[in-house]
């Protein structure tokens, strides 16, 4: 749960795919502001890869790139905003948003944090590492992920969110290079992004079932907000 918390049973929600596509389109638009050519824009290249893996249509993908790059005279005006604070029971989290109305977003975030604690900038970030996060699955089940991490230049590797996957952790500046190197080590990259990992996560086992349910309900409400792109939580199994 430490790298990027994923809402429980999120896939079963009827509108989950639409929300995921909306977030991917936003990321493409923001990335494309620095250039519409993925060969010279690594952030855009990563965003396109993510969108393709999520089965975004070519038409939607190209429209997002053109809108972000301002090629149709209508450049996107999203602002990246990061919030820090605590879920119930002092579970730390960092929430990344992309919004076209900061006042609206901050008002919504304040409401969402009523059952937690919204902190000032830097109040929680010190307890997280700013890193590159690459989720990958082995082509061969016997592939050695530790060896692959060393050879590809990752700093660390741990079990991924999906069954059988691995999470390769890199220095932010090495994200693109490690992502390109992993296929040579027998791993298929399924996602790659800059994010956070907790330094001192709260153990889920230390919480009562009722407390854990309260934390998960809080996180689900945060994740469900349309302006929220990523939620990083200091919670471990």
Q: Is the same domain home to 64 and 33?
A: yes
Q: What is the CATH number of the domain that holds 16?
A: 1.10.10.200
Domain presence at residue 173 = yes
Q: Is the same domain home to 162 and 207?
A: no
Domain presence at residue 91 = yes
Q: What per-residue confidence (pLDDT) applies to 6?
A: 53
Whole-angstrom distance, CA of residue 215 vs CA of residue 205: 13
Q: What per-residue confidence (pLDDT) applies to 70?
A: 86
pLDDT band at 206 (very low <50, low <70, confident <90, very high): very high
pLDDT band at 131 (very low <50, low <70, confident <90, very high): very high
Q: Is the same domain home to 189 and 134?
A: yes
Q: Please compute the mean of the pLDDT values over residues 136-161 and round it to a whole number.
A: 91
Is the distance from CB of 72 to CB of 32 less than 8 angstroms?
Answer: no
Domain presence at residue 21 = yes
Q: Please compute the mean of the pLDDT values over residues 230-235 and round it to a whole number.
A: 94
Q: Is the same domain home to 100 and 210?
A: yes
Q: What per-residue confidence (pLDDT) applies to 1?
A: 47
The pair of three-digit structure tokens given for residue 212, joined into one six-digit string: 């854990």
Whole-angstrom distance, CA of residue 167 vs CA of residue 236: 14
Q: Is the same domain home to 116 and 220?
A: yes
* Containing structural domain, residue 94: 82-122+203-236
Q: What per-residue confidence (pLDDT) applies to 13?
A: 46
Q: What is the CATH number of the domain that holds 139?
A: 3.30.70.980
- Is the pLDDT at 230 greater than 80? The verdict is yes
The pTM (predicted TM-score) of the whole model is 0.82
Domain presence at residue 5 = no
Q: What per-residue confidence (pLDDT) applies to 149?
A: 96
Q: What per-residue confidence (pLDDT) applies to 3?
A: 45
pLDDT above 90 as % of the chain: 61
Q: What average pLDDT does the chain have?
A: 88
Q: Is the same domain home to 115 and 214?
A: yes
Domain presence at residue 75 = no
Q: What per-residue confidence (pLDDT) applies to 181?
A: 95
Domain presence at residue 191 = yes
Whole-angstrom distance, CA of residue 21 vs CA of residue 136: 20
Residues 49-108: pLDDT tens digits?
889 888 899 999 999 999 888 887 766 678 889 999 999 999 999 999 999 899 999 999
Q: What's the domain count of the chain? A: 3
Q: What per-residue confidence (pLDDT) applies to 2?
A: 47
Q: Is the same domain home to 193 and 207?
A: no
Q: Is the same domain home to 16 and 40?
A: yes
Highest mean pLDDT, choosing among 36-50, 65-79, 96-110, 150-164:
96-110
Domain presence at residue 165 = yes
Rounded (10°) angle between helices 58-69 and 42-53:
150
Residues shown for the chain: 237
Q: What per-residue confidence (pLDDT) applies to 43?
A: 82
Q: Is the same domain home to 189 and 133?
A: yes
Residues 3-27: pLDDT tens digits?
455 544 444 444 566 778 888 898 8
Q: Is the same domain home to 113 and 214?
A: yes
Q: Is the same domain home to 115 and 145?
A: no
Domain presence at residue 47 = yes
Residue 8 falls in which region: left (phi positive, over 0), alpha (psi -120 to 50) or beta:
beta
Q: What per-residue confidence (pLDDT) applies to 12?
A: 43
Q: Is the same domain home to 92 and 152?
A: no
Is the distance from CB of 201 to CB of 2 less than 8 angstroms?
Answer: yes
């Amino acid at each position: 749960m430490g790298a990027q918390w994923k809402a429980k049973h999120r896939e079963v929600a009827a509108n989950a795919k639409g929300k995921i596509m909306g977030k991917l389109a936003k990321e493409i638009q923001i990335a494309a502001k620095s250039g519409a050519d993925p060969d010279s824009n690594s952030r855009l290249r990563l965003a396109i890869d993510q969108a393709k893996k999520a089965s975004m249509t070519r038409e939607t993908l190209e429209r997002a790139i053109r809108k972000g790059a301002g090629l149709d005279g209508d450049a996107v005006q999203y602002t990246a905003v990061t919030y820090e604070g605590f879920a119930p029971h002092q579970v730390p989290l960092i929430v990344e948003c992309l919004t076209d109305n900061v006042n609206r977003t901050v008002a919504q975030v304040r409401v969402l944090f009523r059952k937690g604690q919204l902190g000032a900038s830097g109040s929680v970030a010190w307890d997280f590492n700013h890193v590159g996060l690459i989720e990958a699955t082995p082509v061969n089940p016997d592939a050695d992920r530790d060896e692959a991490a060393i050879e590809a230049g990752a700093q660390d590797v741990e079990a991924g969110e999906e069954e059988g996957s691995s999470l390769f952790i890199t220095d932010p500046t090495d994200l693109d290079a490690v992502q390109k190197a992993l296929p040579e080590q027998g791993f298929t990259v399924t996602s790659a992004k800059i994010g956070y990992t907790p330094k001192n996560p709260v153990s889920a086992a230390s919480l009562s079932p009722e407390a854990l349910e309260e934390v998960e309900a809080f996180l689900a409400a945060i994740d469900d907000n349309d302006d929220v792109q990523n939620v990083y939580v200091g919670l471990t199994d």
